[in-house]
Amino acid sequence: MNPWRATHAHLRAAVAGFGLLVAGLVLGRTDVVLLAAPLALIALAGQAARPQETPAARATEGALTVHESEEFGWRTVVTELPPGGVVAAFHPGQRWLDVEPEDGRLVAAPDGTATTDVALRATRWGRRRLGGPVVAAYDAWGAWRWTADPFAGLQVTVLPATEPFDSSAPAPHPHGLVGMERAGRPGEGTEFAKVRAFEPGDRLRRIHWPTSARTGRLHVTATYADQDARVVVLVDAVNDVGDSEGIDGAHSSMDLTVRAAAVLADHFLRRGDRVGMRVFGAWGVSFVPSASGRMQLRRLLDTLSLVEPGTARGEDALAARQALGAGTLALMLSPLIEPASTRQVAMLTSAGIDVVVIDTLPQELAEGVGPGTTDQEALAWRIRMLQRRLERDQMASLGIPVVTWTGPHSLDQVLRDLTRRSAVPRLGRR
Amino acid sequence: MSTTSGVTFRDRQGHRIGTLSVANVLAWLAIVVPIVVVAEVTRSSAPTSPWWPALVLVLLAIASAELPDSMFPLTTVLASAGWWIAVVEQVRLGPTLVVALGLLVFHVAAGHAALGPQGRDDDGAVLRGVVTRTAAVGALTVVLGAVADVTTGRVDVPPAGLGLALLAAGALPWLAGRWKRSGAGH
């Protein structure tokens, strides 16, 4: 069975062309025959050009992982087209997806093969299946149409963008065996500590010859050990406040949270630290154990891209403490809308864990009328904002640093303060 | 990523309503203007005819531009030709050719617009092919009209003869296609 179907244009040319021709003949009017002439000619040419071939179409399919704002392509190749044939390809747009060209593309097939490329750009993190693209082919006269079988849309995992963050501030509690942090104890490393007398087991290449020659005894250069820190990123996904317009537009609280978490994880992993993650309020993802390396970054970004805010409410505040030991640097990313997040911060601090609270509520919401539309909702939002300010002040008075996320460098000063403070002994409840 | 040239209109949620670009406007004009010309020529060829059929034709043309892959373009062509048949009595070659070519351009423009979503990105080779084929058919129509005009009054050419000549001319590509396919089959 021929897979080509007549188009409205062919039907129009045939009906109008031959209809007018018959009318002209019946009425004996040459002018009507002349009106019919171009349409009848096109109808005959279109009928003569009816394709017999069955085209074959291939398109980009499967799963793809990209970063926010990264361009990727959708390509279709249609072969076995009739001479002069054309191919129309259309990829539907959707929220947080830019498509170029938005209305599809019409390309010629000079040698029976047509290739169409559509550029796509995901503007928000997350995992989603893109809408099904459509491909159709036409003969040279646009009289016959062949439609390809529906293509499955691409399964795209969009990882949050990790903008460069080059903080020089050290993490407060380095421990472990490798990393870029300078430990408090001497060991193998690169940071100079002192020149001391040689001891059995010291490496010969460590001998400090000027001092050894001057004193007559062997001396070596001692260094501080290079060690890593353990950082846990706590993601509050109980609420997503505000509208998200993708990476180029307005940000919701969850946008800021996820992107900030990605930037921080990238930063600490680049330094050789071990980074883990715990997500509250999202069904399906909860905890990623601490580890180091590029694979861990990918694991964390994958986890962040799966976050569906507000899908798991009412978690026990104690859950925040699980698998977190003293000496861990906990970075709590939260819009501080839910009182439960404040309780979690208090619990972690009392357990001797250094917590930095990073406020990810968009500035315009914190100072504006909020997401509500009615007067009552606006009033409720204002009351909640006042309570929130009070909670922030209480945390600050307890020595818990609260930083409003304005970009990666918001943390620099806080990390320096924590490092300085970690040198001072203090009591912690276990 | 480059964006489509033109002005894109979006609703409050950011969903696209439409794009106003030079290509879109030209495509729209290529459908509507020929019918405006046809209506004007018909009115001037039959000055006593009422004005409202012209308005109906223009409205149909606008509907055709919005929905080119529908029955609106066929309705527009039939309405235009029907109005011509009904009101024009003093037939002259010039106006007839203008109307015939106007209907041809309208048909081709509507057919081309129906190949995909409005505002799509068209390959230059596709547009060149469309223009070439339209010009060929238009030239053939002009030649046919000229032959009919020259022979009128000198040789008695009945409309049936003209129709048969037209069918014969149109059958040539069909026969060529049949011959090519049978050749390929052997």
B110 to A71: CB separation less than 8 angstroms, yes or no: no
Distance from CA of B49 to the nearest CA of A (A): 18
CB-based contact (8 Å) between A19 and chain B? yes
Q: Is the pLDDT of residue A139 over 80?
A: yes
**Three-state secondary structure string covering B129-183:** HHHHHHHHHHHHHHHHHHHHHHHCCCCCCCHHHHHHHHHHHHHHHHHHHHHHHHH
> Can you tell me the mean pLDDT for A149-159?
89
> A116 by DSSP, 3-state: which?
strand
Domain boundaries, chain B: 10-155, 158-186
For residue A174, is pLDDT > 60? no
d(CA A417, CA A406): 18
Q: Does A250 touch chain B (CB under 8 A)?
A: no
In the predicted model, what is the mean pLDDT of chain B?
84
In chain B, the percentage of residues whose pLDDT exceeds 90 is 53
- Comparing CA positions, the residue from A357, A364, A305 lying closest to residue A332 is A357
Identify the band that residue A177 occupies on the pLDDT scale cut at 50, 70 and 90.
very low
B10 token code pair = 């979006």
User: How high does pLDDT run on average in chain A?
Assistant: 83
Record: contact B116-A106, CB cut-off 8 A: yes
- Specify whether the CB–CB gap between B100 and B108 falls below 8 A: no
Q: A127 CB near a chain B CB, below 8 Å?
A: no
pLDDT exceeds cutoff 90 at B61: yes
> pLDDT, tens digit, for every residue of B90-114?
888 899 999 999 999 999 999 999 9
Q: Do A142 and B115 touch (CB under 8 A)?
A: yes
pLDDT confidence of residue A401: 86
- Over residues A382-427, the pLDDT tens digits come to 888 898 889 888 888 888 888 888 877 777 777 776 666 655 555 5
Q: Average pLDDT in the B18-32 region?
A: 87
CA dihedral B135, B141, B146, B151 (to 10 degrees): 160
A230-422 carries CATH number 1.10.3210: no
B113 in Cβ contact with B31 (< 8 Å): yes
Contact A51, A4 (CB under 8 A): yes
| pLDDT single digits (tens) A88-130 | 999 988 888 888 888 889 999 888 899 999 999 999 999 988 8
Whether pLDDT at A170 is above 60: no
Question: Which residue shows structure tokens 């009351």?
Answer: A383
Chain segment A10-64, per-residue pLDDT in tens:
999 999 999 998 898 888 888 898 999 999 999 989 988 889 889 999 988 888 9
Helix axes B124-151, B93-113, angle to 10 degrees: 160
Tell me the C-alpha to C-alpha distance, in Å, between residue A63 and each of A74, A152, A306, B21: 12, 11, 15, 34
CB atoms closer than 10 angstroms to residue A430: 7
Query: By the 8 A CB rule, do A187 and A210 touch?
Result: no
Asked if B140 reaches chain A (Cβ–Cβ under 8 Å), the answer is: yes
Q: Which two tokens stand for residue A68?
A: 């926010």
Does residue B176 carry a pLDDT above 70?
Answer: no
Per-residue confidence (pLDDT) for residue A420, from 0 to 100:
65
Any idea which residue has 């995909």 for tokens? B116
d(CA A235, CA A334): 7
Report phi then psi at B23, rounded to 5.
Answer: -60, -40
Task: Give ∠ CA A136-A138-A141 in degrees, rounded to 5.
Answer: 160
Is there a contact between A32 and B78 if contact means CB atoms under 8 Å apart? Answer: no
pLDDT greater than 60 at residue B2: no
In angstroms, the first-to-last Cα distance of chain A is: 78
Identify the CA nearest to A251 among candidates A261, A263, A259, A243: A243
B160 to chain A: nearest residue by CA? A25
- The token pair that represents A285 in the structure block: 């993802």
Instruction: Name the residue facing B123 among A16, A106, A249 (closest C-beta).
Output: A106
CB pairs under 8 A between A and B: 214
Tell whether A108 lies on the interface with B, counting CB pairs under 8 A: yes
Q: Is there a contact between B125 and A90 if contact means CB atoms under 8 Å apart?
A: no
What is the pLDDT, as a whole number, of residue A315? Answer: 58
Q: Is B161 on the interface with A (CB under 8 A)?
A: no
**Domain A56-159 indexed as CATH 2.60.40.3450:** yes
Whether the pLDDT of residue A210 is over 90: the answer is yes
Nearest CA in chain A to B127: A108
Share of chain A above pLDDT 90, in %: 31
Question: What is d(CA B89, CA A279) in angstroms, rounded to the nearest whole number?
Answer: 83
Closest Cβ opposite residue A12 in set B107, B117, B171: B107
Residues in B touching A15 (Cβ below 8 Å): 74, 78
Residue A399, phi then psi, degrees to nearest 5: 90, 10
Q: Using an 8 Å Cβ cutoff, are A186 and A195 in contact?
A: no
| Domain range summary for chain A, segments of one domain joined by + | 5-48, 56-159, 186-226, 230-422
Q: Regarding predicted confidence, which is higher, A208 or A182?
A: A208
- The answer to whether the beta carbons of residues A418 and A354 sit under 8 Å apart is yes
Residue with tokens 């609270």: A357
> String of b and e for A152-185 (b: at least 16 CB within 10 Å)?
ebbebbbbbbbeebebeebbbbbbbeebbbbbee
B96 touches chain A (CB under 8 A): yes
Q: CA of A39 to nearest chain B CA: how many angstroms apart?
A: 7
Compute the nearest-CA separation of A65 from chain B (Å): 18
pLDDT score of B1 more than 60: no
Is the ipTM higher than 0.90? The answer is no
**Candidate from B1, B81, B112 with C-beta closest to A16:** B81
Task: Output the CA–CA distances (angstroms, integers) from residue A254 to A59, A125, A308, A345, A378, in the order listed.
Answer: 34, 10, 9, 19, 21
Q: What percent of chain B has pLDDT over 70?
A: 78
Q: How far is Cα A317 from Cα A424, in angstroms, rounded to an integer? A: 28
- Specify the pLDDT at position A132: 82
Q: Is the pLDDT of residue B147 over 50?
A: yes
Q: What DSSP letter does each residue of A229-249 carry, written as one string?
A: BEEEEEEE-S---S----TTS
- Please tell me the distance from the alpha carbon of residue A56 to that of residue A66, in angstroms, as a whole number: 29
Alpha helices (H) along A49-178: none
Q: Which residues contact A64 (CB under 8 A, 6 or more apart)?
A: A72, A154, A155, A156, A157
Task: Report the percent of chain A where pLDDT is more than 70.
Answer: 85
Asked if the C-beta of A72 comes within 8 angstroms of chain B's C-beta atoms, the answer is no
- Contact across the interface for B173 and A45, Cβ inside 8 Å: yes
For residue B100, give the chain A residue with the closest CA: A35
Q: Is the pLDDT of residue A184 over 60?
A: no
Query: How far apart are the C-alpha atoms of A121 and A99, rounded to whole Å?
Result: 7
Shortest CB distance from A39 goes to which of B2, B103, B177?
A: B103
Model confidence at B3: pLDDT above 80: no
Task: Give the pLDDT band of residue A322 (cuts 50, 70, 90).
Answer: low
Higher-confidence residue: B43 or A166?
B43
Q: Does B30 touch chain A (CB under 8 A)?
A: no
Nearest-CB residue to A103 (from B107, B112, B117): B117
Q: B142 or A375, which is more confident? A: B142
For residue B186, pLDDT beyond 50? no
